[in-house]
């Protein structure tokens, strides 16, 4: 059965797998095993008994699997269980956030009273060590939990419409194949392994600066503008960029194709390298953050101009991610290459705004012949840069 192309790809029933033929009702357990149920009451009880509410269920109403939020009979159980879990989480996070917040403010006040400047306090290693976990691991998760509790206190049709759209989009995004994002991941893993091997420790920056980093000297060969973004300062730096790249690159690959995704990464990484060479010439630069911010900027521009293609909440989460990066750059300005971030972000927004005109269509853009040409060119640049980076680090 073919469903209307008036729906975006993630909203079409036939995008999801066909339901198992082992009963009229059932759900997919955590390990992927289907569990049949005799009726709706058994389905509700089975879902409630699981450690985590199953993501996918099936009923006689559809020949395909559905997200749990789509089943009206499950919504009361789903909402009560989720609110109970998030209520406990919000309480725990609230206590921890108050404690860490008190430590952060106390350290700030004591340091200022001791004669340190505000800038010196913000750039100190200890302040970053306590402030960043407070913001990103307690305060923001607490805010998100309490926000959901407020919004779900009196759920209406718009609330459930949003929940269904979010769940379907995230499931579709998570379970689609993105082979060229995998290629990028392999490139990063190979280069990260080489850096770990040659540096023989946690700090990779010293060796990277000597071999492939953008040192911003007049004697820098041109290829360092491409190898610098492929190297990283340490394992944490690599891991954060690896996780961000995998999610954002996959999202872009699935929405507009691998051709644009690869080109935006190359274009933005180079733009970030040029920007940091101009605005921060005294500090060597490594890391693919410019390319990642370019993909983030592209998605913000593209999804803003194609609102029918992506639900509202996932678009807002991109804006929240940008706000978090901005806040991180403001707090850790002595450690974060804000120039590279800004250069990459502007390049990505520019590409997304210029290449893809505004549209109300729910269809993903068609791949044109010129897209394949630019995609192959970007792939060649990335491969040459990766090989050059690996060679220079090993010799």
Residues 300, 233: one domain? yes
**Same domain, yes or no: 153 and 64:** no
For residue 121, CA distances in Å to 95, 124, 128, 334, 379 come to 25, 5, 9, 11, 43
CA distance 174 to 287: 26
Residue 222 sits in the same domain as residue 342: yes
Q: Is residue 3 part of a domain?
A: no
Residue 369 lies in a domain: yes
List of residues 6+ apart from 269 with CB closer than 8 A: 226, 229, 288, 290, 291, 294, 344
Same domain, 221 and 288: yes
For 4-44, how does the pLDDT look when each residue is reduced to its tens digit (9 = 90+)? 568 999 999 888 999 998 989 999 987 778 999 999 999 99
Output the six-digit token pair for 334: 């002595």
Of 117, 149, 173, the position where a domain reaches its end is: 173
Q: Could you tell me if residue 94 is inside a domain?
A: yes
pLDDT value of residue 170: 93
Asked whether residue 215 is domain-assigned, the answer is: yes
In a domain, 132, yes or no: yes
Q: Which SS3 state, helix, strand or coil, does residue 84 take?
A: helix
**pLDDT at 100 (0 to 100):** 92
User: Residues 281, 381: one domain?
Assistant: yes
- 291 found inside a domain: yes
Whether 227 and 127 share a structural domain: no
Q: Which of 74, 90, 123 is the last residue of a domain?
A: 74
249 Cβ partners below 8 Å, 6+ apart? 178, 180, 181, 184, 261, 265, 295
Residues 154 and 266 in one domain: no
Let me know whether 227 and 313 are in one domain: yes
Whether residues 182 and 139 fall in one domain? no
The pairs formed by 194-197 with CB atoms below 8 angstroms and a separation of 24 or more are 194/390, 194/393, 194/394, 195/231, 195/232, 195/238, 195/393, 196/235
Same domain, yes or no: 92 and 157? yes
Token couple for 182: 């995998």
* CATH (domain of 370): 1.20.1540.10
CA–centroid distance for 131 within its chain: 22
Same domain? 340 vs 368? yes
The proportion of the chain whose per-residue pLDDT surpasses 70, expressed as a percent, equals: 98
Q: Could you tell me if 34 and 105 lie in one domain?
A: no
pLDDT at 127: 82
Name the residue range of residue 88's domain. 75-173
Is residue 56 within 8 A of residue 67, CB to CB? The reply is yes
The DSSP letter of residue 210 is: H
Of the three residues 59, 74, 89, the one that is the final residue of a domain is: 74
**Under a CB-based contact definition with an 8 Å cutoff, are residues 207 and 196 in contact?**
no
Q: Using CA atoms, how far apart are residues 320 and 332, in angstroms rounded to an integer? A: 18
2 domain residue, yes or no: no
Q: Which element (helix H / strand E) includes 34?
A: strand 34-37
Does residue 4 fall inside a structural domain?
no
pLDDT at 365: 92
Global pTM value: 0.90
Q: Where are the alpha helices (DSSP H) in 176-234?
A: 179-199, 205-211, 224-227
Angle at 244 between CA 243 and CA 246, to 5 degrees: 65
Domains of the chain: total:
3
- Per-residue pLDDT tens listing for the chain (395 residues): 455 568 999 999 888 999 998 989 999 987 778 999 999 999 999 888 886 777 899 999 889 999 999 999 999 988 998 999 999 999 999 999 999 999 999 998 999 999 888 878 877 778 878 888 888 889 999 999 999 999 999 999 999 999 999 999 999 999 999 999 999 999 999 999 998 888 877 777 777 667 788 888 777 788 899 999 999 888 888 999 999 999 999 999 999 999 999 999 999 999 999 999 999 888 888 899 999 999 999 999 999 999 999 999 999 999 999 998 998 888 777 778 899 999 999 999 999 999 999 999 999 999 989 999 999 999 999 999 999 999 998 88
The C-alpha atoms of residue 232 and residue 235 are separated, in whole angstroms, by 8
């Amino acid at each position: 059965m073919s469903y209307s192309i008036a729906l975006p790809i993630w909203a079409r029933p036939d995008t999801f797998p066909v339901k198992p033929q082992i009963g009229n009702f059932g759900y997919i357990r955590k390990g992927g095993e289907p569990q049949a149920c005799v009726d709706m009451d058994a389905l509700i009880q089975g879902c409630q008994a699981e450690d985590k509410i199953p993501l996918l269920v099936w009923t006689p109403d559809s020949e395909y699997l559905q997200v749990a939020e789509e089943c009206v009979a499950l919504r009361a159980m789903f909402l009560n269980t989720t609110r109970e879990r998030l209520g406990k989480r919000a309480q725990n996070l609230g206590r921890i956030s108050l404690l860490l917040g008190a430590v952060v403010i106390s350290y700030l006040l004591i340091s200022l009273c001791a004669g340190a400047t505000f800038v010196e306090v913000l750039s100190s290693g200890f302040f970053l060590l306590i402030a960043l976990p407070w913001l990103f691991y307690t305060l923001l998760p607490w805010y998100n939990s309490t926000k959901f509790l407020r919004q779900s206190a009196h759920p209406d049709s718009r609330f459930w419409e949003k929940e269904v759209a979010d769940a379907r989009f995230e499931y579709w995004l998570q379970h689609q194949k993105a082979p060229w994002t995998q290629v990028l991941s392999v490139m990063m893993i190979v280069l990260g392994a080489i850096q770990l091997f040659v540096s023989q420790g946690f700090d990779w920056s010293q060796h990277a600066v000597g071999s492939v980093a953008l040192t911003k000297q007049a004697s820098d060969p041109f290829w360092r503008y491409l190898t610098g973004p492929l190297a990283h300062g340490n394992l944490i730096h690599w891991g954060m960029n690896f996780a961000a790249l995998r999610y954002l690159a996959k999202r872009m690959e699935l929405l507009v194709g691998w051709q644009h995704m690869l080109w935006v990464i190359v274009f933005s990484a180079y733009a970030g390298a040029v920007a940091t060479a101009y605005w921060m010439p005294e500090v060597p630069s490594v890391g693919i953050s410019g390319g990642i911010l370019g993909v983030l900027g592209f998605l913000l521009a593209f999804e803003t101009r194609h609102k029918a293609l992506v639900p509202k909440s996932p678009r807002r989460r991109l804006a929240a991610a940008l706000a978090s990066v901005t806040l991180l750059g403001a707090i850790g300005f002595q450690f974060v290459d804000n120039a590279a971030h800004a250069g990459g972000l502007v390049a990505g927004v520019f590409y997304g705004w210029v290449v893809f005109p505004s549209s109300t269509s729910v269809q993903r853009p068609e791949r044109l012949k010129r897209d394949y040409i630019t995609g192959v060119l970007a792939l060649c640049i990335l491969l040459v840069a990766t090989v050059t980076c690996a060679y220079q680090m090993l010799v």
